[in-house]
Each structure stands twice: as structure tokens, then as C-alpha cells.
Amino acid sequence: MKHVKVDATTSTNELAKSINKKDFNQIFCVSTEFQTKGKGQHENVWTSEKSKNLMFTVVLNGLSLKIEENFNLNILVCCGLISVLKKYNLPELKLKWPNDILSVQKKICGILIENTLSGKYITTSYIGIGLNVNQLVFENLPKASSLGRILHQQIDKEELLNQILEEFMSIATKLKNHHIPIQEYKSLLYGYDYTTEFQMDKHKKSGIITGINPLGELEIQFEDSSKGIFNHAQIRQIY
């Protein structure tokens, strides 16, 4: 896989978009030691201590993925990352819908997927990953942690990145062949089949995630016996 490394950039997703050319391989990676404008979901900012963590974007070119099957990509990315992280014996690994990774109920990884469309198909996907590896202090972020902090040891960032990139090499083929591990994704979901709390506007409600539809929307059974289906703009899970 072609790998572009830079010391600093605004965000790896934006850099990847600017350098993506037709003569690049169908899959390539852009990584950095520091982001000045790292992006998260819903215009949130992703901050990271320089040279301590992994910040990279994997670009998948040549896709022909139906827009309505977009969540299949999310499933493969999340499950692929968990598969690699399990090798490090991280405890209590969970996926917080739609695309954060937790260990011992602390956020260690955020994922931002942005796509280029042609008609009704996704042709290119920019998979941005922020993975906390060796950072130990998270000021004003009580719910954040890292591999190094949880495991009490330094982690080889380069080796970890290579393992993730190797895992991601198969994503396009799995999409094409419809090898989507939906049951594995559900089993990893924080709050699947057990009670957690959700924020909706100014109200909080407790409930159980009972399913997830093909669009990636949560199906929730609340403790007051009401039910609902929600996208990520309508509800937030509290952890």
C-alpha cells in the first residue's frame, strides 16, 4: 500500500483529498504526527498530543458501493479495527454507535468516514482514524484514554499501524462480495441487549439497543415501553 507520511497537517482526510490522483493505487494511506484541525463527527474537533498517537486516513478508490449500503463500510472498518486491537489484549472493547471505540468505557478511537459520490454510488471513501496510543494525559477529557494508559506500557505505533493497514486491504473485496459481519458488529455494540442511557434534545431516557437497520439507524426499546428508530443526528448515547 502506498503510504504518504507528513510531520503535520490540518487533517489527514483533507490532505488525502488534496493529493488523491488517478495514478494512485486503489488503496493508499496518509498519516501524520500532528493535526492542527483534526475532525470528528458533527464538526467536532479531534485533539491529540504530537507524535503520541495514530492519525491517518485510508483512501479506497474504485468503489462502486450503493449509497444505501454505506453503513456496510462502517461495519467493516469498526470490526477490522477491533480485530487488530484484540491482539493487544485490551479489556472490555466495545463500539459506541456509530463509530467510536471504547475500552473500559473510555474512548480510545474515533472514526470519520467521508465519501465521494457519482450518481447513486460511492466511488471513493476517505476513512479517517484517530487512535490514542501512547498519550497518557487528557486534559478536560475525562472519558478519553489510550492503549498505553490502559495497558501500562509503550506501544509500537508503526507496528500497530501496519497491522491496521493490512486488515483494511481486504475491505473493498468484502464490500464487493457482501461479506459484512453484521452479527459481530451487533455483539460489539455498547448497549446492545442491555440498558444504557441516551440523550435526545434536552431529555435523557434509558433503553436497550435491540437492533440496527441497513442504514445504520439504531432500534431502541426504552424503559417506558416506547420504541424508536434513530439516526446519529437524532440521539446520542451516554457512556
Query: What value does the mean pLDDT of the chain take?
Result: 93
Position 48 scores a pLDDT of 74
Position 26 scores a pLDDT of 87
CB atoms within 10 A of CB 26: 13
Residue with cell 475491505: 171
Question: What are the domain boundaries of the chain?
Answer: 2-180, 195-238
Q: Would residue 193 be called left, alpha or beta, if left means φ above 0 and alpha means ψ between -120 and 50 degrees?
A: left
* C-alpha distances out from residue 200 to 137, 231, 234, Å: 31, 11, 7
How far is the C-alpha of 184 from the C-alpha of 104, rounded, in Å? 19
18-30 residue pLDDT tens: 999 877 778 999 9
89-126 residue pLDDT tens: 999 999 999 999 999 999 999 999 999 999 999 999 99
118-169 residue pLDDT tens: 999 999 999 999 999 999 999 889 999 999 999 999 999 999 999 999 999 9
How far is the C-alpha of 89 from the C-alpha of 134, rounded, in Å? 16
Domains 2-180 and 195-238 belong to one CATH topology? no
Q: Which fold has domain 2-180?
A: BirA Bifunctional Protein; domain 2 (3.30.930)
Position 202 scores a pLDDT of 86
CB atoms within 10 A of CB 166: 12
Helix (H/G/I), strand (E/B), else coil: 54: strand
Q: Does domain 195-238 have CATH number 2.30.30?
A: yes
